[in-house]
Amino acid sequence: MTSAPLVAVTGAEGFIGSHLTEALVATGHRVRAMAQYNSFSSYGWLETLPADVLAEVEIVLGDVRDPGSVRGLLEGAEAAYHLAALIAIPYSYQAPHSYVDTNVTGTLNVLEAVRQLGTPRLVHTSTSETYGTARTVPITEDHPINTQSPYAASKAGGDRLADSYHASFGTPVVTLRPFNTFGPRQSMRAVIPTVIGQVAAGSREITIGDLRPTRDFTYVEDTARAFLAVGTAPLEQVAGLTFNAGTGGEISVGDLVRFIGKVMDADLDVREDERRVRPANSEVMRLVADASRLHAATGWSPAHDLEQGLAKTVAFFRDPGNLARYKTDIYNI
């Protein structure tokens, strides 16, 4: 380990968390990374990072639902990035209590630890799902909150706690609200890896959910850079604020599937699977970001368009070693 500044990351073993960990190390940080405790001593996607990256990462097993775990993670850190969350929307219909425990109580534990330890900065992770179906586009941070799933409601609860701690205690928290991040290491529960994974495994009959919703897809390296942007900008420019991170582009799920087929040079037969369709009033039909506040405060803008991001994601899933980590033939929630 070097004497570089130490930052803490919850949810570091996950999709975005592992990319953020890489980006932090690349910009000269040491990382204390929390992976959720498990009896297999698995560190998730952190295990795939290069040795020179892991040399700057201290991996600890813990749980954001446990205050002691969180306090231990944050001790001595100059900043904390809170990404740990339950994120699969379909599973939130089945297990809503666990979403509140992780996404609300877990966030409360992080906020309390930051407050007690005097951690200089906390970057809290929100989600575009808290907006619900767009009432006006593009969606600014002033758009009404309309939570259409238990997952979205639990994330909005964490957001409100973060806002309240800044107002009540001056907690130095900034909230980043990413729009539909995609890329290597993403779970098969998401639409892009679901389609790419099925095609990479040899299928040309693609099963998917509702083809009508539109989304603003942001490549994961750009999302990681957005976290860095709000995590390193002068605190007075970002503290207490929420920032959208998205491209401002919009594509329907149906057009996205056809575009993936073009990128992968595959003629696809797309079929809707009722199991993958959300309840009618729970489906968010349109999301497209206005990220001008983030750009004005930090200079951030996405470096990848959709085609460039898809090309990198396809290359990842076409690697047999990576594809073997997934079960492409089952519906993942």
How many Å apart are CA 106 and CA 205, to the nearest integer? Answer: 40
Catalytic residue among 81, 151, 165, 219: 151
| In contact, 211 and 252? CB cutoff 8 Å | yes
How many Å apart are CA 43 and CA 35, to the nearest integer? Answer: 6
Q: Is 81 a catalytic residue?
A: no
Distance of CA 308 to the CA centre of its chain: 19
How many Å apart are CA 19 and CA 17, to the nearest integer? Answer: 5
CA–CA distances in Å: residue 324 to residues 195, 229, 234, 327? 15, 34, 43, 8
Q: What is the CA radius of gyration of the chain?
A: 19
CA–CA distances in Å: residue 50 to residues 19, 46, 56, 289? 12, 9, 11, 33
Active centre residues (catalytic): 151
